[in-house]
A = this chain, B = another copy of it.
Amino acid sequence: MERLFLNIAISPELYLKDPESSELGKKIVSQSIYLINELGFEGFTFKKLSKKIGSTESTIYRYFENKHTLLLYLTCWYWSWVEYKLVFETHNISSPEERLKIALNIITMPITEDNSFFHINEVLLHQIIISESTKVIYTKEVDKENEKGFYTVYKQIVNRISDIIIEINPDYNYPHMLISSTIDGALHQRYFSQHFPSLIDDKNGKDCVFSFYTDLVFNAIK
């Protein structure tokens, strides 16, 4: 993908001070990605992050309410980036089957290179989405956070791809469930391939997560 000047817009309710507005803010975000990967979300603290970036705990608290909100910020960034790729790469392609293939590629394939659009390492962010993002949603605060619109980007992605499915087969009954279970399942399968390889069927050389879901989706809707 070529280098572009684009901005990923994140809901201002997710931060106290926009981390994009200062060098320190960008450092908080970029270094948190390394640290969460290294320590896991449970082991990650603002104190450790402040030490890593040579700042203080209280300064980080001026940007983010707490570490949960920071993780939510990162996941929103990720899904906004995925949505951008989705729109960009399916643009001007008339065949809905072709568009669906591209979409499945985007949501199920591993991120292998960091495009360095931003101060954000996309490869490591993807790894956080795989290993830590369920912790954002599985809390007692989901409904409150959902009302605030923090999950709308994710829902938009599901809706966009569902629309392609309905275009291909208007009679298919479960487009949303098919896509949300593909998105989340693909992340889950990547985690499994890292930790429970016996549950992964990868005989052939191809990326089995991608081919499994492509096969699954096209068989389901045809």
Q: A-side interface residues toward B, CB under 8 Å?
A: 39-40, 42-43, 131-132, 134-135, 137-140, 142-143, 146, 151, 155, 158, 173-178, 180-181, 184-185, 188-189, 191-192, 195-196, 198-201, 203-204, 208-209, 212, 215-216, 219-220
Q: Write the nearest CB–CB distance from A130 to chain B, whole angstroms.
A: 9
Complex: A164 Cα to B169 Cα, angstroms: 30
| A39, A178, A195 interface centre (most CB from chain B within 10 Å) | A195
Chain B residues whose C-beta falls within 8 Å of the C-beta of A219 in the assembled complex: 219-220
Q: Write the nearest CB–CB distance from A63 to chain B, whole angstroms.
A: 22
The answer to whether A195 touches B143, judged by C-beta atoms less than 8 angstroms apart, is: yes
Complex: A192 Cα to B7 Cα, angstroms: 30
Complex: A139 Cα to B189 Cα, angstroms: 16
Chain B residues whose C-beta falls within 8 Å of the C-beta of A176 in the assembled complex: 198-201
Chain B residues whose C-beta falls within 8 Å of the C-beta of A151 in the assembled complex: 196
Nearest B residue to A158 by beta-carbon distance?
A: B199
Q: Write the nearest CB–CB distance from A39 to chain B, whole angstroms.
A: 8
The answer to whether B174 touches A192, judged by C-beta atoms less than 8 angstroms apart, is: no
Chain B residues whose C-beta falls within 8 Å of the C-beta of A40 in the assembled complex: 139-140
Q: Write the nearest CB–CB distance from A79 to chain B, whole angstroms.
A: 14
Complex: A209 Cα to B174 Cα, angstroms: 9
| A39, A138, A151 interface centre (most CB from chain B within 10 Å) | A138
Chain B residues whose C-beta falls within 8 Å of the C-beta of A142 in the assembled complex: 195
Chain B residues whose C-beta falls within 8 Å of the C-beta of A155 in the assembled complex: 196, 198-199
The answer to whether A173 touches B143, judged by C-beta atoms less than 8 angstroms apart, is: no
